[in-house]
Structure 1
Amino acid sequence: MADTFHTQIVSILPKLRVQALALTRNRAQAEDLVQDAVCNALNARDSFIPGTNFAAWMHRILRNRFISDLRKQRATSDIDDVPGELLSSKADHEDRLAVKDLGYALARLPDDQREALVMVVLHGMSYQELAESTGCAVGTAKSRVFRARRQLEAWMTGELPEDDGLRQRASALRNEVDRRKMMGAATRSNGLRG
């Protein structure tokens, strides 16, 4: 089993690096995160059940390690700062600028959406595998990928503002539900009086 376990770890390293880079947005931190996740996996190899989804297990370990590290850093630094190199561009070529813009847009996505998008689009994970590795429902996984794609498209094409009306539609729906509840309560109240 040890040989198979080690072979599986080696084969998943490239995908773990991509996920770690999407989470940390820094190559050196991503490499450290992958190394820490692999160490955690090696220490916990007895808890892995052969025949189950090894990739999802490893992605979950990496994600949990990232969250643990993030909690430790939160007390000492501001994690929401966007690195300066993402805000500037030295390239003159349009393609290079587009890639930088995409990198900036990816960095702006909420962590859960960015992670979901990277795991499905770059890693080729199914929604089921994504749900297993992130500990959410399949519908939530699909929603995260959909929202990430939609927001990236809006930012990259400039066709939609950052707030494209979803809040207004949700607010209008809530108002309608509240109005109907009030009408129902008034109707019941009038029925009791009569």
Structure 2
Amino acid sequence: MTFHDQVITILPKLRIQALSLTRNRAAAEDLVQDAVCNALAAQDSFIPGTNFSAWMHRILRNRFISDLRKRRDTTDIDDVPASSFASAPTHEDSLALKDLSMALSRLPADQREALVMVVIQGMSYEDLALATNCAVGTAKSRVFRARRQLETWMTGDVPANDKLHQKVRALRNAMDTHRRNGQNDTELLLS
């Protein structure tokens, strides 16, 4: 597989990681684009045969941290209004986070726990294995299966007979129809 093929293959996973870091769909897309540009520029430094996925995720994470550092202003924290510490999520971002939350709750408990400990808390697989009293391979497998399942659910690759997915799709379609007709979402929920 060529370098460019590997980049294209990993894009969905990078989008999920970027969304979890930025919590904003537009910022996540920008972050993925910047990370891919960095990877293409550093293509010669990638050693074939090593873990391409880890290399790309590291580039994305480092780019996110660099962007945070660049945006840092040097002002007294007491002089900054509290509203500047966070940006209000868009409706689309709220739906994406609700989808993610719903998908996380559907994961088996051992996979959800492993994913949170590794991805959110930054725990190594070895530490996860010790904390959950399992083999390192089992810990890695749990995280892998959780990521794969979340990716499937979040990208919409769900079997057509998935009743929960059908209900969410029907509600979204109804909300879109209401908006096109000039009605707000509250009217839909009350009807």
TM-score by length of 1: 0.45
- Bigger radius of gyration: 1
Q: Higher RCO, 1 or 2 (CA under 8 Å, sep at least 6)?
A: 1
TM-score by length of 2: 0.46
